[in-house]
A and B are shown apart, each in its own frame.
Chain A
Amino acid sequence: MVSIQNLHKQFGALKVLNGLELDIMEKGIIAVLGPNGSGKTTLIKSLLGMVVPDKGEISIAGSNIRKRWNYRQEIDYLPQIANFPGNLKVQELITMIKDLRGKPAREKELIEYFRLQPFLDKKLNKLSGGTQQKVNLVLCFMFDSQLVILDEPTSGLDPVALLQLRNLLQEEKEKGKTILITSHIMNFVEEVADRIVFLLEGKIYFDGTVSEIKSSTGQPDFEHAIAKLLSEDHV
């Protein structure tokens, strides 16, 4: 599905990605973790073509993405900040994204799922952060693509919405999608992720399941295992 080889990216003097190699062939939920500045967002943006890598190859569904744009038709992406043009109403934004994609969408089902009907006629700048994030989630999931990329999907969500998101992710996973997530909420990751990819200094430092992390660090608790991983021979 996704294959990344020898990916390098530097912003000024700062090396963000340093020869990263990653293959994602399986279905399921893959969490990309790492401390701040480890290159998570840069990795995701490289996949989407928003960041142009200095070196290295990325292929999605078998073809190289360099200088191409239509491969994004097959990716659903949830950006980190749900900051939309304030002048638009929720319904207008949804219609617009649908129009841009030119694909059938299942927004009604998702609007119902997140109980967004009362907000459809509201302008986006009048919504709370959590509601904006729900709109963001609807926009992301409505196209039913095989590859889904979520950057901090939990931000701003209340416990009820968080539970809804968790159930939605479970359903999507069962449909056989590949879902890439970054998050700082460790117990959320622990519950949903099938595979953990841990980034450090622009490289993959650990790649395995939650239980593998726990056993390799000798920590029974996921959060502590991650902390242990960080403190081992770094810092």
Chain B
Amino acid sequence: MFKILKYSFFDLTRSSWSYVYFFFYLLLGSVLLFLNNDLSTAIITLMNVIIMIVPLIGTIFGVMYYYNSREFTQLLLAQPVRRSSIFLGQYFGVAISLSLSLILGLGIPFAAYGLFKSSAIWDFSMLLVTGLFLTLIFSALAFNIALSHENKIKGFGYAILLWLFLAVIYDGIFLLSLVYFQDYPLDKFSLAASMFNPIDLSRILILLKLDISALLSYTGAVFKQFFGTPVGTLASLGMLFLWVILPLFRLKRVVGKKDF
């Protein structure tokens, strides 16, 4: 697997897209920090961007890489290599190169700003950790979708739909149901509902880290009670971890049976 990973990674480090993505974060980070001069607003703005963009890029890159390397995968399949190694290697190649773009792109301006001396380092690390998880999760989901659809257009379509659903539509339904059932106690429901969406989960983790949950009023208090505790943080990180592991298990299973 590591050989495949190495080659996928090097292949991607030479693709201009990785650099575009890297410079995007570099620019975003620098602009927000140096024109804003307030670390915590910069982190909140970054959070809003990261929570939308990272899943989107992860999805598109994952699907694109899978379809673009199809013929190459055929070549690898004829080599004495385990099938699951080929796909897991390619997946980690994509996920790691995207993660590197994110970490370096945001890390450099923050380091230049003098983050290591400030207390915001933990907020910033939480931002990076959730960014990494979102990259891993959405590229894994994208690989799964691409693997199940031979037709490129369909694969792209479903991948974008998935992103749209988790990033936008899910919240809409969530909000509507909160309004609709407002006469009932909804704490448990909203806790559970946000646990099942990695994007919501990431958002809450960062918001609570930033200590602005007071802005979220009563729900915020409930959230703080759960996610604010070490158990809650561990549970949500565990949930994000599950979001990575489960698609990878499916990937492994599907790959074992698929005809190429």
Contact = CB atoms under 8 A, between A and B. Distances in A.
Contacts of A75: 78
Nearest to A74: B80
Contacts of B76: 100
Interface stretch (B66-74, B178-186, B220-228): B66-74
A213 to B, nearest CB: 30
B15 interface: yes
A145 to B, nearest CB: 10
Contacts of B260: 45, 50-51
Interface string A86-117: 01100000001101110000000000000000
B77 A100 contact: no
Contact of B11 (A79, A81, A83, A88): A88
Contacts of A85: 11, 68-69, 72
Contact of A84 (B14, B72, B257): B72
A83 B71 contact: yes
A87 B257 contact: no
Contacts of B15: 87
Nearest to A77: B78
B208 to A, nearest CB: 42
Interface residues of B, number: 24
Contacts, number: 60
Contacts of B3: 99-100
A47 to B, nearest CB: 10
Interface string A122-148: 000000000000000001000000000
Contact of B259 (A11, A71, A83): A11
B253 interface: no
Contact of A69 (B11, B83, B258, B259): B83
Contacts of A101: 79-80
B152 interface: no
Interface of A: 11, 45, 48-52, 69-73, 75, 77, 79, 81, 83-85, 87-88, 96-97, 99-101, 139
Given A45-B259, A69-B80, 11 more contacts: A11-B259, A52-B257, A72-B80, A73-B80, A77-B78, A85-B11, A85-B72, A87-B11, A97-B79, A100-B4, A139-B75
**9 nearest A-B residue pairs (beta carbon):** A83-B71, A73-B80, A72-B80, A77-B78, A51-B259, A50-B260, A85-B72, A87-B14, A50-B77
